[in-house]
Each structure stands twice: as C-alpha cells, then as structure tokens.
Structure 1
Amino acid sequence: MEGFFMAVQTGLTIGEVAARTGLSVSAIRFYEGRGLVHPERSPGGQRVFLRSDIRRLSFILIAQQIGLTIEEIGQLLSSLPDRRTPTKRDWTRISTAFRHLLDERIALMERTRRKLDGCIGCGCLSLKKCQLYNPEDRARGLGTGPRFLLDDVSVVSTES
C-alpha cells in the first residue's frame, strides 16, 4: 500500500500525460480500456500514471503510425512490465519482435512500390495483362485478395 501512495504522489495526471505525449485524453482512456496502459487510481478515483507510461504511449503512437493494429501493439507491449519502468533488456526484447514486424511491413511496401504500375493482382488493373499472368483466374487458388502482391507471386502457372 505504501508503494501505491508513493506512485500517487509522484505520478502524473491524465492531463499531464496528454500534454507530454501529444495524445488526447480520450485516446489515453481508449488505450487504457484496451489494456495497453494501466494507471493506478488515487483515493479520489483519479487516474495516476507512472512516467514510464509516457514511453509506452509514445511507442503506441509510433507503432500505429507505421500501421500496426491495436492487437499487434498489445502483443508487443505484453512482454513489458506494467508497474515499473522498463529496463534496457525489456526494450531490447520488445524491439526484436517490433523489428520483425517492421521488416515484414517494409517488404510489403517495397513489393507494392515495384508492382504499383502493373498488376497488383488480382483485383485487376489490366485485363490484357491478366489474361497472360492469370489465365482463367487461377490466382483464386492462392487465396483471397491481392495474392500477387501479398505473397510476392509474379506469374501463375498456366498448367492445370
């Protein structure tokens, strides 16, 4: 109980956290509701954030800007401690997983850039090319959506 009162005395209000992170108060409440931050409550019921929550919220902001979902962000943050400032080792662990997701996103973006002017198929931009690359809509066997882009497939075999 003594640790809680120390956190309340040294903690930050939601308004202070919003000012430090650039996030709106409602966004911080949303992230709390999704379990991404875990503020304590003061005896009066106010949220009290640790300074380490600023880092967590900043990470969330960056991760969302590169396209990670709330679920992906939650999975990454789940390995961090909730009630103490993460150590360098903690952040190294999360950065390894984050780097993997970034590499996947970068590869997808590079494939998209390479194929942007041609077929990103099939949801087809060129019916003439599609007759050559995807005869009889054989790409449907690869799954739904733009399979040539998502799977980095360039040509569908013309064999049955």
Structure 2
Amino acid sequence: MLAPEPGLMIWTLITFGVAVLVLTVFAFKPLQKALDARRQNIQDGMDAAEAARAEALRLLEEYKATLAKVRGESEEILERSRATADHAKAEIIAEAKSQSERILEEAHEQIERDTRAALRALKGQIAELTALATTKVAASSLTEADQRRLIEEALAELDVEKLGVEGDG
C-alpha cells in the first residue's frame, strides 16, 4: 500500500496552498465579481420589474378613476339631455294645446257668427213668407183646406240655400 512520505506531503500542501492562493487571486475573485455582478443584475431586474408593476398598478388605478369620472360626466350629460328634452317636449305640448284651444275657440266663434247670420236670414224669409201668405189669405176668402195649401206652397217656395242649411244635415 501507500506509505505516507512527509516530504511529499509538505510539497503537496505547499502546492495546494499556492494553487488556492493563485485561484483565489486570479479565479475566485473575478468569478465572485462576475457572480456579484450577475446577482446585482438580477436584483436590478427584479427592482425594475417591481417598479414597472407598481407603475402599472398606479396607471390602472388612474385609468379606473378617469373612467369612473367619465362615466359620471356622461351620466350627468345624459340626465341634462333628458331634462332638456322633457322640458322641450312639455313646451311643445303646451304650445300645441294652446294653439288647439285657440283654433277651437275661433271655430266656436265662427259657428256662432254663422248661426246668428243664418237665423237673421231665416227670420227675414219667414217674415216675407208670412206676409205673402197673409196677403194671399186675406185677398181671398178661402176655405181652411185652401189656406193650408197656400201656406204649404209658401213654405215650398222658401229658399233653403238662403238659410245656409245644407241637405245633409
């Protein structure tokens, strides 16, 4: 088997120490720096991602607030539009009602005037017919049947068109 030799053991330890020292100076420190830089890069990326996430959340909240404000304003505008439309509708209805009442009143007044004119014309014709019938009756002594016949003839002579009465009603 192997027998430990103290000289070889010392040289192995010295070589190992020098190798560790050389590796520490030339390999481990740069490797540690690279690992630290990589760790810092990862940390910076995570910090940037967290900052971006926080900014995104802030923007989302801002967007939600703006959206709520816009919705509120649009509801307010719609409500004002409805109120304006209702007011305009009420004004139009009131104006139409007023106009229809005025037209109806004017029609009633015209009917009243036409009725009075027709009655005046009727009274005049009745007076003429009565005078004519009286003259005919007085001018001759007639029997009662003749008097009725004369009155009916006088009434038949009555000018219906002068009375303003139409045949349909």
- Higher RCO structure, 1 or 2 (CA under 8 Å, sep 6+): 2
* Greater C-alpha radius of gyration: 2
